[in-house]
Amino acid sequence: MSVSLPAPKHSDLLAISGIKLGIASAGIKTVDRTDLVLIQLAESTTTSVVYTQNVFCAAPVMLAKQHQNEASPRYLLINSGNANAGTGEAGLQAAQDCCSAVAELTNDTKNAVLPFSTGVIGQQLPVDKIKKALPDAFQDLKADNWFDAAHAIMTTDTVAKAISKQVEIDGNTITVTGMAKGSGMIRPDMATMLSYIATDAAVEQLVLDTILHNAVEQSFNRITVDGDTSTNDACVLMATGQAANNTIDDIDSAEAQNLYQVIVQISQQLAQAIVRDGEGATKFIEIQVEQGVDTQECRQVAYTIAHSPLVKTAFFASDPNWGRILAAIGRSKIRDFDLSKVTIYLGDVCIVNGGQPASDYTEQKGQQVMDEDEITIKVELGRGNAKDTVWTCDFSYDYVKINAEYRT
């Protein structure tokens, strides 16, 4: 189940010159489903990556960081079905063995391979299965494999998440294609579960790093399903330099800003797709907090609302129990908070004005909004001019069921 989230079409996903993707079935968790992706990057590619802030980061995260500091990435190896997290030295060795297997297959160095894993935590990675399937992934390398790759990285996702856009830069058509996976254990502290975005533009490293950091802040760092930050989060941005544009080397240039805006759009659509496909989700909720002292406190209020089980279950029940929203705002630990200045809206319906029930609010008006699949909560703090937005979903019976039965 997902909330108004159409599945991507193969024909909608555009190939990126300099990027090839290969898909294979290793049978890591489920037999006869694709669960291994090998991405080949042209030598001209500039790559930027952000990783989870969870201190118990997975073995592939630790190794990817190390390899990224040692060499320019030429291959990304992604497996689903096993997170290779909480696996100690054996897990780190397993990730290294997989990178070595890619290097041997491609006649490259192992530190030019960045490994990524997603799935069950605490189980050792079945290296032999991955090694056996790698030749199939290598033979399958082709530019138009984004559709199949987006499906192969899924775990509890019900819909693959991928999108393409184009923009004119220096009189050239620049293409950007991205894919992501994620459905539960979503409260990113940098990105989402796993996301890969590529462009054929030529971009200098520092500019690419800035674009990725800023795009993530406006997208993947503004979503939550359940408040849990994964051990395996990673977001990769690749610029192959295969287009004919002049290398973008100034973040303040019109060219950089044009590219940035497209990457933000793709990142936000992928991030919102993760929320729309949240485990058991039946409602997509946008939380807008305005009139704050700064964006940090606006975000703090928004996330307190978004993480409240009482708020989320009320939305699942379509119950206009606005007192739960008010209670969440009140415990958001904002200094010198003045409830009498707070106004709250459900959609276009004002439910609280000046910290008390709006004079024209009726249960019927609130119910009409709560019956919708997509709902906006707007909070005006009456403290300043800052604002921020967070996207989340409700908590349903299925969320509990999916996570209770995750390993069975």
Question: Any idea which residues carry the catalytic annotation?
Answer: 192
Side chain identity, residue 125: L
State which amino acid sits at residue 221. N
Parallel, antiparallel or unpaired: strands 113-120 and 172-181: unpaired
Pairing of strands 46-51, 234-239: antiparallel
Q: What are phi and psi of 78, to 5 degrees?
A: -125, 130
- The DSSP secondary-structure symbol of 13 reads S
Please state, as a whole number, how many other Cβ atoms lie within 10 Å of the Cβ of residue 399: 23
Nearest 5°: phi and psi at 76?
A: -115, 130
Give helix then strand counts, H and E, for the chain: 11, 15
3-state secondary structure of 81: strand
83 exposure class (CB count in 10 Å sphere: 0-12, 13-18, 19+)? buried
Type and span of the H or E element at 46: strand 46-51
The closest alpha carbon to 163, from 6, 389, 390, belongs to 6
At 184, the amino acid letter reads: G
CA angle 225, 146, 407 (to 5 degrees): 45
Question: Which tokens go with 251?
Answer: 């973040």
